[in-house]
């Protein structure tokens, strides 16, 4: 016979049924409890003590709990590990409840919907995807800032790339994934996949002109958020359509290989372009800068507008210094607005909000000192919200605690009734002191004092030795080991006045605080607009600071030219890490008629750095930043495609060579004549002849069919002959200095092809044994006697015969026929091969 379940546990099971995929935190008094499988798993993950309910029962229920005041810490840990957490609160005062206390889930916290994450600077994007026929729609939202956007993408690989770029941790699925798609999102990218939702008929959404599929995916994302958060989210911005093609297009592989926002070794910010350019002073500015780096501009007008302001900040050092100080006083307005909307704002949040708003007039005044038309728009958008600032200054006390239930939040003078209660409390305190002095004199008990605790209220404290002097109008309240507690009619009357004032003032203060919060909510859209403006100002001053510190110049950008000329260019990040004195600058020249630069030279000589340097210079310029060079003239590129470095995609079973070919194909299919292609050692993942044939074919295809500006680094020296047949290809190489058998890499790009690869020299630097290196040198000398032709091959109309046999070769053919291959050692076979070669 099954054991009877208590009403409380039945309530738990009924709620849990609706949230099977989440840990359910069930509020019971001062603890959130977990039961059954949730308790077992949470105890292991959170290192909690696992106990049980109904211990003496035949089937005790596993139980684990966390204190309610520390719940956020435990919730964050679960969410950061990719779990969902449903929080069930007590919906009534347990003292007033009849029977079981009513409980209900008030919020479901997931990796994509948490707003109180540890790293408060970064965005936390929640993504939804939808499919109609062959088209995909993607919508993303950051609940902590209110950002809400949607776009259409042409294939699933673009969807995956956008999710990766957004660093999303959770995806709401609007269609049935096939196995390969599920494997990529779930296993490969380690994303939480949340279920498709039925759209409520009543759900409405403000938006501009969206396509049907965009509206559908945005509504599904909104429905998911409303279902999990269970509150009106007034801070969510109107959904905004964006197009990938409106920005410099870079797929995730390109962003990763160029280390734009995270480095490849530790997946951290250090050593990236983001790290280098980040001199921002506000959290909003830091987030916006990351977005700028991920999405550089392609409009000459928009880029020029940013650069003009950077130039202005560079030219006005003192004003910029004052601006930086003013920006330091601005807190994260976007996150503060979301906390107000979520009903999580505390007194300290309002004080930070008021402090931030008080800095806006100073920022505005500084910008007005700068003599430039470009500043006009920024100045006009700086809305100091004086009404909101006044409201907070008048209502919230600077000494307010972080809690909203213990009083001390509202300033004296803001509400007359609250002032009266406080006056009663202050008078009560003086009345208590006066009564204590009176009774001490009347009774002659010198140690008599009036104390207070929650259980006994106010009482006279009298020690055991003074009990004989207790007057008749005292009545006993409690007996302790060495003393007793007494009350009196007069003390009781004072206590009632004070307790009433304390209770009513506490309730009134809470109500007044809620009123301030409600009034602040009306300003959320203006706060968000102000946050964007301050973020933009912050990003532009940051670019100016970096340009000054690193000695960057303003590039000349043109939409109507494809001419590239960079004088003494540097790799921005490498230079910052190693120091300007050590870095060897290089010119990069790709005239109008030159599309492809074929780069040869030894490993470790700087070919990859040179190519990355070019890509980063382009990205910096199209962000609106100045660039590391003596001068720079650049076209505006529409996309950057890279294939740099070896990277197996073993999770999806793709080898280095497969990844190489996939990325090369992506570039060939998507690139235009206004794109930048960077290929580093393409074809090395397969056999030499295969690799060289593919490399040559790709170069020819880009040359004949695409015409994109291309840097192609290779070890196949035979490819350097292509400049004789390809009109728009130039050879360059990394210069070396060879003296007395020692080789020095000069890291300098010069015209023409390299004459050697110096691979054995690199092996020497790596410390390989000298006898091994001598043997390699000997083998190399023999192999170099048989060059591999790599001229442009014309298509043949007929199949050529495999051999044109000359009678002079008949002796060699007879030798080959007589050869017993099965009985030859490897050395004998190699020697025989050399004999044949010598004979030929």
Residue 486 · residue 399 · CB < 8 Å: no
Poorest-pLDDT segment among 561-570, 631-640, 661-670: 661-670
Tell me if residue 567 falls in helix, strand or coil: strand
pLDDT band at 580 (very low <50, low <70, confident <90, very high): low
* Residue 82 CA, distance from chain mean position: 16
Task: Provide the pLDDT for residue 817.
Answer: 76
- Is residue 80's pLDDT more than 60? yes
How large is the average pLDDT for residues 728-751?
A: 80
pTM listed for this prediction? 0.83
Distance CA(299)–CA(301), nearest Å, equals: 5
Residue 381 · residue 529 · CB < 8 Å: yes
Task: Provide the pLDDT for residue 739.
Answer: 66
- Is residue 562's pLDDT more than 70? yes
- Span between the terminal Cα atoms of the chain, in Å: 95
Closest alpha carbon to 717 in 790, 794, 610: 790
Q: Which two tokens mark 785? A: 């006697």
Distance CA(4)–CA(320), nearest Å, equals: 73
Task: Provide the pLDDT for residue 788.
Answer: 47
Task: Provide the pLDDT for residue 399.
Answer: 87
Q: State residue 216 phi and psi, 5-degree precision.
A: -65, -45
Residue 8 · residue 61 · CB < 8 Å: no
Question: What dotted CATH number matches 7-109?
Answer: 3.40.1170.10
* Residue 96 CA, distance from chain mean position: 46
Question: What dotted CATH number matches 278-385+523-549?
Answer: 1.10.1420.10
Closest alpha carbon to 507 in 396, 403, 404, 399: 404
Q: Which residue has the higher pLDDT, 581 or 642?
A: 642
Topology match between the domains 278-385+523-549 and 416-517: yes
Distance CA(519)–CA(788), nearest Å, equals: 78
Residue 372 · residue 309 · CB < 8 Å: yes
Residues 6+ apart with CB under 8 A from 593: 727, 728
Q: State residue 76 phi and psi, 5-degree precision.
A: -60, -40
pLDDT in tens, 382-401: 999 999 999 999 999 998 87
How large is the average pLDDT for residues 478-491?
A: 90
pLDDT in tens, 18-41: 999 999 999 998 999 999 999 999
pLDDT in tens, 588-603: 999 999 999 999 887 7
- Is residue 632's pLDDT more than 80? yes
- Is residue 202's pLDDT more than 70? no
Please report, to the nearest 10 degrees, the dihedral formed by the alpha carbons of residues 475, 481, 483, 484 taken in order. -10
Please list the alpha-helical segments (H only) found in 91-211: 156-166, 179-182
The length of the chain is 840
According to CATH, the topology of domain 125-242 is Nucleotidyltransferase; domain 5 (3.30.420)
Distance CA(692)–CA(699), nearest Å, equals: 11
Most confident of 144-153, 197-206, 615-624, 718-727: 615-624
Please tell me what DSSP assigns to residue 297: B
Distance CA(367)–CA(351), nearest Å, equals: 25
Which residue ranges are tagged as binding site for ATP? Answer: 601-608
- Is residue 734's pLDDT more than 90? no
As a whole-number percent, the residues of the chain with pLDDT over 90 amount to 55
Which residue ranges are tagged as binding site? Answer: 601-608
Task: Provide the pLDDT for residue 525.
Answer: 93
pLDDT in tens, 92-129: 888 888 888 999 999 999 999 988 754 568 899 999 99
- Token look-up 């590239």 returns 564
Task: Provide the pLDDT for residue 14.
Answer: 94
For the 416-517 domain, the top CATH level (class) is mainly alpha
Task: Give domain limits for the chain.
Answer: 7-109, 125-242, 278-385+523-549, 416-517, 552-755, 807-839
> Mean pLDDT over all residues of the chain?
87
Q: Which helix (H) or strand (E) holds 321?
A: helix 317-328
Burial label for 124, CB within 10 Å (0-12, 13-18, 19+), is: buried
Distance CA(725)–CA(719), nearest Å, equals: 11
Q: Rg for the chain (alpha carbons), in Å? A: 37
Task: Provide the pLDDT for residue 789.
Answer: 47
- Is residue 648's pLDDT more than 50? no
Sign (positive/negative) of CA torsion 801, 807, 812, 818? Answer: positive
* Residue 675 CA, distance from chain mean position: 27
CATH of 552-755, one of 3.40.50.300, 3.40.640.10, 3.60.10.10, 3.40.50.800: 3.40.50.300
Distance CA(636)–CA(299), nearest Å, equals: 8
- Is residue 830's pLDDT more than 80? no
- Is residue 798's pLDDT more than 50? no
CB atoms within 10 A of CB 724: 10
- Is residue 794's pLDDT more than 80? no
pLDDT in tens, 272-306: 999 999 999 999 999 999 999 999 999 999 999 99
pLDDT in tens, 348-369: 999 999 999 999 999 999 999 9
Tell me if residue 427 falls in helix, strand or coil: helix
pLDDT band at 217 (very low <50, low <70, confident <90, very high): very high
């Amino acid at each position: 016979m099954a054991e009877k379940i208590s009403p409380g546990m039945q309530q738990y099971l009924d709620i849990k049924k609706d949230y099977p995929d989440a840990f359910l935190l069930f509020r019971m008094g001062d603890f959130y409890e977990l039961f059954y499988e949730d308790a077992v798993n949470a105890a292991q993950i959170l290192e909690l003590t696992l106990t049980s309910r109904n211990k003496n029962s035949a089937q005790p229920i596993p139980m684990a709990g966390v204190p309610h005041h520390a719940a956020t810490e435990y919730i964050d840990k679960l969410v950061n590990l990719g779990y969902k957490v449903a929080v069930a609160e007590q919906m009534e005062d347990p003292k007033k409840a009849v029977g079981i206390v009513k409980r209900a889930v008030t919020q479901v916290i997931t990796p994509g919907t948490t707003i109180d994450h540890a790293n408060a600077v970064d965005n936390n994007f929640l993504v939804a995807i939808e499919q109609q026929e062959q088209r995909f729609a993607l919508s993303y939202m950051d609940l902590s800032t209110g950002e809400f956007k949607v776009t259409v993408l042409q294939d699933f690989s673009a969807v995956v790339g956008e999710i990766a770029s957004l660093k999303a941790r959770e995806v709401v699925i609007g269609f049935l994934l096939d196995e390969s798609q599920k494997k990529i999102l779930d296993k490969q990218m380690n994303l939480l996949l949340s279920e498709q939702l039925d759209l409520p008929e009543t759900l409405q959404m403000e938006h501009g002109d969206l396509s049907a599929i965009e509206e559908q995916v945005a509504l599904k994302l909104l429905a998911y958020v409303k279902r999990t958060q269970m509150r009106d989210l007034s801070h969510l911005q109107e959904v905004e359509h964006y197009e990938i093609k409106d920005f410099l297009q870079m797929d995730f592989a390109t962003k990763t290989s160029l280390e734009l926002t995270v480095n490849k070794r530790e997946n951290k910010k250090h050593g990236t372009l983001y790290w280098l350019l980040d001199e921002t002073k506000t959290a909003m500015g830091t987030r916006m800068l990351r977005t700028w780096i991920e999405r550089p501009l392609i409009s000459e007008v928009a880029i020029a507008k940013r650069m003009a302001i950077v130039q202005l900040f560079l030219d006005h050092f003192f004003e910029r210094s004052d601006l930086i100080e003013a920006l330091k006083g601005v807190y994260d307005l976007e996150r503060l607005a979301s906390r107000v909307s979520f009903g999580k704002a505390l007194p300290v949040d309002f004080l930070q909000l008021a402090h931030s708003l008080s800095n806006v007039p100073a920022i505005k005044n500084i910008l007005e000192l700068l003599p430039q038309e470009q500043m006009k728009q920024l100045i006009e958008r700086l809305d100091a919200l004086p009404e909101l600032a006044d409201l907070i200054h008048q209502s919230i006390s600077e000494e307010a605690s972080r809690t909203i239930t213990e009083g001390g939040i509202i300033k004296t003078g803001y509400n007359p009734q609250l002032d009266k209660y406080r006056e009663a409390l202050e008078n009560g305190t003086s009345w208590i002191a006066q009564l204590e002095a009176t009774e001490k004199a009347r009774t002659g008990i010198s140690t008599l004092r009036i104390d207070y605790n929650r259980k006994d209220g106010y009482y006279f404290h009298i020690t055991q030795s003074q009990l004989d002097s207790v007057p008749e109008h005292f009545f006993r309240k409690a007996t302790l080991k060495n003393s007793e507690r007494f009350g009196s009619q007069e003390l009781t009357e004072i206590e009632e006045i004070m307790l009433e004032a304390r209770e009513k003032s506490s309730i009134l203060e809470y109500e007044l605080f809620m009123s301030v919060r409600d009034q602040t909510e009306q300003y959320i859209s203006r706060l968000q607009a102000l946050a964007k403006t301050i973020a933009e100002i912050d990003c532009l001053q940051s670019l100016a600071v970096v340009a000054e510190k690193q000695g960057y110049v303003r590039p000349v950008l043109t939409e109507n030219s494809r001419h590239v000329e960079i004088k003494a260019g540097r790799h921005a990040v490498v230079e910052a890490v190693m120091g300007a004195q050590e870095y060897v600058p290089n010119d990069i020249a790709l005239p109008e008629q030159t599309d492809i630069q074929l780069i040869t030279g030894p490993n470790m000589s700087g070919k990859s750095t040179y190519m990355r340097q070019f890509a980063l210079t382009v990205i910096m310029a199209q962000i609106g930043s100045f660039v590391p060079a003596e001068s720079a003239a650049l076209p505006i590129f529409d996309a950057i495609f890279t294939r740099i470095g070896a990277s197996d995609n073993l999770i999806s079973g793709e080898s280095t060579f497969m990844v190489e070919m996939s990325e090369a194909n992506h570039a060939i299919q998507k690139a235009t004549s206004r794109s930048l292609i960077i290929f580093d050692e393409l074809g090395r993942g397969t056999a030499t002849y295969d690799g060289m044939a593919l490399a040559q074919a790709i170069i020819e295809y880009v040359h004949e069919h695409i015409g994109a500006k291309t840097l192609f680094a290779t070890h196949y020296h035979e490819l350097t002959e292509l400049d004789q047949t390809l009109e728009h290809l130039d050879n360059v190489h990394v210069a070396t200095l060879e003296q007395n058998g020692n080789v020095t890499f000069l890291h300098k790009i010069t015209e023409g092809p390299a004459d050697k690869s110096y691979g054995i020299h690199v092996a020497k630097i790596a410390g390989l044994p000298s006898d091994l290196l001598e043997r390699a040198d000997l083998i190399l000398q023999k192999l170099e006697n048989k060059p591999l032709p790599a001229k442009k091959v014309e298509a043949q109309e007929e199949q050529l015969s495999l051999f044109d046999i000359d009678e002079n070769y008949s002796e060699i053919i007879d030798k080959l026929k007589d050869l017993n291959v099965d009985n030859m050692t490897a050395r004998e076979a190699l020697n025989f091969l050399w004999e044949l070669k010598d004979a030929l």
